[in-house]
Amino acid sequence: MLRVGYPATLAAELLRDFPPEVELIPLPNDLDHDIEIDVWIPDPYPKRAICLWPRLRGVRLILSLMAGTEWIPGVAGPGVTICNAQGAHSISTAEWTLSAILATLKYFPLYLNVQRSGVWKRRFEADTHYARITGDARPHYPPIMLEELTGKSVLLVGYGSIGKEIERMLAPFHVELERVARSARANPLVHAVSELDNLLPHADVVILILPSTAESYHLIGRRQFALMRQGALLVNAARGPIVDTDALVDALNAGHIRAALDVTDPEPLPEGYPLWNCPNLLLTPHVAGSSPQFAPRSLKTAADELRRYINGEPLRNVVQAAV
Catalytic center residues: 239, 267, 286
CA 320 from centroid of its chain's CA atoms: 20
- Cβ(209)–Cβ(93) below 8 Å: yes
Distance CA 51, CA 30 (A): 9
- Cβ(22)–Cβ(43) below 8 Å: no
- Cβ(35)–Cβ(274) below 8 Å: no
- Cβ(37)–Cβ(54) below 8 Å: no
Q: What is the CA radius of gyration of the chain?
A: 22
Q: Taking the CB of residue 192, how many other CB atoms lie within 10 A of it? A: 12
Q: How many residues does the chain have?
A: 323
Distance CA 74, CA 58 (A): 17
- Cβ(207)–Cβ(157) below 8 Å: yes
SS3 55: helix
Q: What H or E segment, with its residue span, contains residue 199? A: helix 196-199
**DSSP string spanning 109-171?**
HHHHHHHHHT-GGGGGHHHHHHHHHH---S--SSPP-----TT-EEEEE--SHHHHHHHHHHG
Q: What H or E segment, with its residue span, contains residue 205? A: strand 205-208
